[in-house]
Every structure is written in C-alpha cells, then in structure tokens.
C-alpha cells in the first residue's frame, strides 16, 4: 500500500502542473512593458451578456499582473457603478479606476465650468455622475422642461416620476457648458434645448444672440454613429445626435457648430487613457517604461482609427460591429482576431511590432500576414504544450505495459514445462500462458485514442476545450492504472496452459 501511495503522489505531482499550463504562457516569458485597452460592447459583452472569451482574457491579464483598462464610448453612469455591473457580468473583479468611459475625461473640466447642463440617459444617473466628478451646479433637460413648462417642447410628456426627479434652478444664470454624457433618451427635447442654448446670448435660456455664436461651450462624449446590441442590425448612437445638432444649427445660423467631441477616436481620450495606464504601472512598481499599448475593439471607425492615429497597436475582433472576412478597408487594424482571447494571445507573442500606416493597401497586407503568422504560432504553441502535457501520461502508459509484459514473462518462467532452456523459453511455439484484455483495458484503449485525437485537432478548432481535456486526462490516467490491476483480479484475464513443473511430452 505504501508503494502504491508513493507512486500515486509522484504521478499527480508531475501531472498537475502540466494540466494547468494548457494553452498558458510562461510567466517568465510574458512581457512586462505592455498594457491593454478593451472596448466593452462587441468585445467583452454583447446585448448585456458576457462573451466567454472576454472573461478568459481579463482574468488571464489580471492573474499575470498585466495592466488593462476598459476604454468604451458607452457611459451614462458613474465608473463605480459600471465597475460593479460589469464585474458581475464578466465574473471578474474590476475596479472603478479601470474604466475609462467616453465621459470620464469630463472630470478634468470641473475647474473650468461651474453651472452646466447635462444630457442623456435615464433619470438622474447622468446628473449624479457629473456631481460626483465635482461640477458645482448640474442641470438636466427635465429640470428645464419642468421650469419652463410644456410650451418649451410640447412633444414630450412628463410623468410623475420625471417631475419628482426635476430640480429647481436659476434660469437667469448663464449656463457655462453643455455636456452630452450618453445617447439622449429625449432626443427631440434635447435637440431643441441644445439649439436654443447654441443660439442664445451668453448661455441664458430664452434669449437669442444676433450672431447666434455666443452660446456656451458644447461637448459630446463620443461620435459613434452606430453601436451593436442583441438586435441583428446596429443601432444609432450619440454620433447621430451630434450630426443632427450640427446640421440643424447650420440650417438655423448658416454657420458651423463649435463643439468638442471626446471618446474614441479622438486623441484627448487616448491621452487620458495612457495616463491612467501609466498610473497603474506605477502602482505595480513597474521598473521598465511602457513601450506598447494594445487596443482591442470591434469598431474600425472609432477603436481602430483612434489607436492607429495615437500610435497604439490596434487589434480588430469580429464579435461586434465588424464582421468582415479580412481587415477593414477604410481603417485597417494591425491584426484581426476572431475574439478577444485570441487577440490577447496574439498581442503577447507579437509585442513591439509597431503600428500600421493609414494606407489601406498596407493595412490589408499587414492584416493578412499577421493573421497567418498568428495561426502558425498558435498551432506550434499547441503542439509544444500538448507534448509537455502528454509526457507524464506517456510514462504511465509505458509503465503499465512494461509491468504487464514483465508479469507475463514471470508466469511463463514459473509454469514453463521442463527442461527449461534459453532456446526453448523464447520459442513462442511452446504455449504456456494466454492473456486476454479485460473490459476495463478495452475502455482504456478507447479513451487513449480519444485523447490523442482531441489533442491532434485542438489547434485547428476555435473552441475552449481545456475543461474537457483536463477531465479526459484524469479519467485516462485513472483507468490506465486500474486496468493494470484488473489483470490481477480478473479470473478470465490470464489462462495457464501447463501445470507448474510439468515436463514436456
């Protein structure tokens, strides 16, 4: 029993590390001077549900202390709220400071503006977010409608709940700036309100400037024309609202609307995100400078365009807006991946390669080369890893077979008819024993073949089968050891054809 217990512990000690290194990178080989930025919708989640490869990618980076942020053109709530919601959805512990929503950089403007109007979203969430950022006085569209009455915009009906959330304000005080935090729910009301202020005299409601150019500063948190959800066709985003505002203002004044866009692909957002990532690395006591940031996104016009322009390495995934077979024609990425986990694997094995030029032709060529290089690299990695994993199993298989062969020779020696000579002993024409495979042994052979087939095709399929593979390895290992013992306890496994010590006729 002690021998069996020792053998078991030695086997598990050698087998367990190999199992948990499946499709993993060596920590020593991981780069320590890179960081990641991920879009959320279409990359990590779709229609409010987690994309499983997203959970895997984030947990891997978190476990290996590789800094990452979530750089999204979404928003409408404070980063702390979004962190809790997405942590639950992704089943990964995420921190508030890892979220860079499209309106997050607005917090840097609190010293510049005091009395501000905010738009977008439901209820008081946007107001609460702006107040948390530090703005002194925050007004919403519902506040204005409640204060000015239905004639201000007769096409919107205020519910009792709306009226409860409305707050009084001094409507003779100039509004310093207008911020659209997220896609407007009251599209028509917000369009009317923003146009009135854009054409106002010094940002006072109910006034009109002769030049229509004295209104408050206007900010949009992103310019996304469309965005993906569970519906099969992308939906209009805040960018559509911005386009409407610009065109209506031009029709009213004959001039271009002076406004500022934040969010991707605008550089102000990428500068802010770079500072956040550098802060992360300082907290991790990083000793090397940040050399490369990978942007993983699904929208070529925002994610990829912005990353390329700012000098980040762009990776385009096919789980959201982009569904092309190769690369984006207009805004080609450095690399195209099927999903975010594949993107992370590619990035960690292709660091410091630089970014693409704006040339579409160069981008397409670069995308194809990167795709083929990634496929070959993945196949090679899988073969090496699977080879390492199979080593302890192979030792077990061979050990069992050697034990059975040794037992067969011992039985042949014990029951060999006299006279016993070397020549006669190795003459297989003299039958002494017969060994028949047990039922467990047959099942074990089938499991070995199944495992071999699974490891062979794994690099060629885009499925996460680590759980199945680990389970099959344990089952195969257990049945291998058990099948060896089954020859001892099965009466039909071994048949003696001669009597011990008998003489040959």
The pLDDT assigned to 190 comes to 96
Q: What is the mean pLDDT of residues 96-104?
A: 94
Label residue 332 by pLDDT band (50, 70, 90).
very high
Q: What is the mean pLDDT of residues 347-362?
A: 54
The pLDDT assigned to 10 comes to 36
- Greater confidence, 278 or 373? 278
pLDDT tens string 369-423: 343 444 444 444 444 444 445 677 778 888 888 888 888 888 888 888 888 888 8
Label residue 149 by pLDDT band (50, 70, 90).
confident
Residues 124 and 252 in one domain: yes
The pLDDT assigned to 438 comes to 86
373 within some domain: no
Residues 108 and 149 in one domain: yes
How many C-beta atoms surround the C-beta of residue 445 within 10 A? Answer: 14
Percent pLDDT > 90 in the chain is 50
Q: What is the mean pLDDT of residues 65-83?
A: 93
C-alpha distances in Å from residue 275, one per residue of 99, 110, 178, 426: 13, 18, 25, 78
Identify the residue whose tokens are 């802010």.
272
| pLDDT at residue 234 tops 80 | yes
According to the 3-state scheme, what is the secondary structure of 91-149?
CCCCCHHHEECCCHHHHHHCCCCCEEEEECCCCCHHHHHHHHHCCCEEEEHHHHHHHHC
Inter-residue contact 351 to 382 (CB < 8 Å): no
**Residue where a domain stops, chosen among 220, 235, 261:** 261
Tell me whether the omega of the peptide bond preceding residue 505 falls within 30 degrees of 0, making it cis.
no
Number of alpha carbons in the 13 Å side-chain half-sphere of residue 460 = 5
Q: What is the mean pLDDT of residues 218-247?
A: 91
C-alpha 217/C-alpha 253 separation (Å) is 16
**268, 289, 107: which is closest to 181 by C-alpha?**
107
**Residue where a domain stops, chosen among 244, 261, 278:** 261
Residues 199 and 289 in one domain: no
DSSP 327-382: --SSS--SEEESSHHHHHHHHHHSTT-----S-HHHHHHHHHHHHHHHHHHHHHHH
Q: What is the mean pLDDT of residues 21-47?
A: 77
Label residue 500 by pLDDT band (50, 70, 90).
low
Residues 310 and 330 in one domain: yes
Residues 134 and 252 in one domain: yes
Residues 91 and 152 in one domain: no
43 within some domain: yes
Domain extent at residue 428: 416-496
143 within some domain: yes
Three-state DSSP state, 389 = helix
**180, 181, 175: which is closest to 214 by C-alpha?**
175
Q: What is the mean pLDDT of residues 155-181?
A: 90
| pLDDT at residue 60 tops 60 | yes
Inter-residue contact 144 to 151 (CB < 8 Å): no
pLDDT tens string 408-466: 888 888 888 888 888 887 878 788 888 788 888 888 888 888 888 887 776 666 566 76
200 within some domain: yes
Residues 78 and 112 in one domain: no
Residues 97 and 108 in one domain: no
User: How high does pLDDT run on average in the chain?
Assistant: 83
Angle (deg, nearest 10), helices 340-349 and 52-63: 40
C-alpha 447/C-alpha 396 separation (Å) is 14
Inter-residue contact 234 to 302 (CB < 8 Å): no
Of the segments 99-103, 148-152, 222-226, 352-356, which one has the largest average pLDDT value? 99-103
12 within some domain: no
332 within some domain: yes
477 phi-psi bin (left φ>0, alpha ψ -120 to 50, beta other): alpha
**Number of domains forming the structure of the chain:** 3
* CATH number reported for the structural domain that contains residue 227 in this entry: 3.40.50.1000
Residues 238 and 110 in one domain: yes
Inter-residue contact 428 to 497 (CB < 8 Å): no
The pLDDT assigned to 178 comes to 98
Residues 164 and 202 in one domain: yes
Both tokens of residue 51?
Answer: 């994309």
Three-state DSSP state, 500 = coil
Tell me what percent of the chain is helix, strand and coil, each rounded to the nearest 5. 50, 10, 40
Q: What is the mean pLDDT of residues 158-166?
A: 82
Residues 83 and 211 in one domain: no
Percent pLDDT > 70 in the chain is 83
Residues 253 and 286 in one domain: no
Angle (deg, nearest 10), helices 187-198 and 141-148: 80
pLDDT tens string 129-145: 999 999 999 999 999 99
Name 260's Cβ contacts closer than 8 Å, sequence gap at least 6.
217, 218, 219, 220
C-alpha 283/C-alpha 309 separation (Å) is 28
C-alpha 328/C-alpha 301 separation (Å) is 9
How many C-beta atoms surround the C-beta of residue 417 within 10 A? Answer: 17
Three-state DSSP state, 52 = helix
How many C-beta atoms surround the C-beta of residue 286 within 10 A? Answer: 16
**Residue where a domain stops, chosen among 261, 277, 298:** 261
**264, 284, 216, 315: which is closest to 33 by C-alpha?**
284
Inter-residue contact 263 to 241 (CB < 8 Å): no
The pLDDT assigned to 380 comes to 45
Helix and strand element counts for the chain (H, E) = 15, 17
| pLDDT at residue 305 tops 90 | yes
Strand partners, 261: 220
């Amino acid at each position: 029993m002690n021998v069996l217990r020792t053998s078991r512990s030695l086997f598990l000690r050698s087998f367990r590390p190999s199992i948990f290194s499946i499709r993993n990178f060596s920590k020593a080989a991981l780069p320590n001077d890179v960081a990641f930025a991920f879009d959320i919708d279409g990359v990590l989640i779709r229609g409010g549900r987690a994309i499983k490869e997203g959970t895997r990618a984030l947990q891997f980076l978190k476990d290996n202390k590789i800094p990452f942020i979530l750089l999204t053109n979404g928003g409408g709530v404070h980063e702390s709220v979004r962190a809790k919601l997405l942590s639950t959805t992704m089943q990964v512990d995420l921190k508030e400071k890892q979220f860079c929503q499209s309106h997050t950089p607005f917090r840097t403007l609190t010293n510049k503006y005091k009395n501000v109007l905010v738009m977008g979203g439901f209820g008081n969430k946007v107001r609460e977010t702006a107040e948390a950022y530090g703005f002194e006085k925050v007004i919403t569209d519902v506040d204005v409608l409640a204060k000015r009455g239905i004639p201000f915009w007769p096409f919107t009906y205020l519910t009792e709940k709306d009226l409860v959330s409305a707050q009084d304000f001094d409507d003779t005080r100039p509004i310093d700036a207008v911020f659209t935090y997220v896609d407007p729910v009251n599209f028509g009301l917000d369009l009317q309100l923003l146009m009135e202020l854009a054409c106002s005299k010094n940002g006072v409601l109910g006034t009109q400037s002769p030049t229509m150019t004295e209104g408050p500063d206007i900010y949009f948190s992103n310019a996304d024309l469309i965005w993906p959800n569970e519906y099969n066709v992308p939906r209009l985003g805040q960018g559509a609202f911005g386009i409407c505002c610009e065109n209506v203002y031009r029709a009213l004044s004959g001039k271009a609307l002076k406004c500022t866009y934040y969010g991707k692909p605008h550089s102000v957002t990428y500068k802010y995100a770079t500072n956040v990532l550098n802060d992360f690395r300082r907290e991790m006591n990083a000793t090397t400078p940040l050399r490369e940031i990978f942007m993983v996104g699904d929208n070529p016009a925002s994610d990829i365009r912005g990353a390329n322009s700012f000098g980040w390495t762009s990776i385009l995934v096919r789980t959201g807006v982009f569904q092309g077979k190769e690369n984006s024609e207009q805004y080609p990425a450095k690399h195209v991946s099927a999903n975010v986990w594949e993107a992370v694997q590619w990035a960690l094995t292709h660091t410091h390669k630089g970014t693409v030029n704006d040339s579409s032709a160069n981008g397409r060529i670069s995308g194809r080369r990167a795709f083929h290089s990634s496929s070959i690299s993945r196949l090679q990695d899988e073969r090496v890893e699977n080879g390492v994993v199979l080593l302890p199993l192979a030792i077990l298989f061979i050990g069992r077979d050697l034990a059975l062969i040794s037992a067969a020779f011992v039985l042949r020696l014990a029951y060999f008819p006299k006279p016993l000579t070397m020549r006669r002993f190795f003459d297989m024409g003299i039958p002494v024993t017969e060994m028949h495979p047990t039922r467990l042994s047959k099942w074990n052979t089938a499991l070995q073949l199944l495992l071999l087939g699974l490891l062979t095709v794994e690099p060629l399929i885009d499925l996460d089968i680590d759980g199945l593979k680990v389970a099959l390895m344990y089952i195969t290992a257990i049945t291998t050891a058990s099948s060896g013992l089954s020859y001892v306890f099965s009466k039909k496994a071994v048949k003696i054809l001669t009597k011990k010590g008998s003489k040959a006729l």
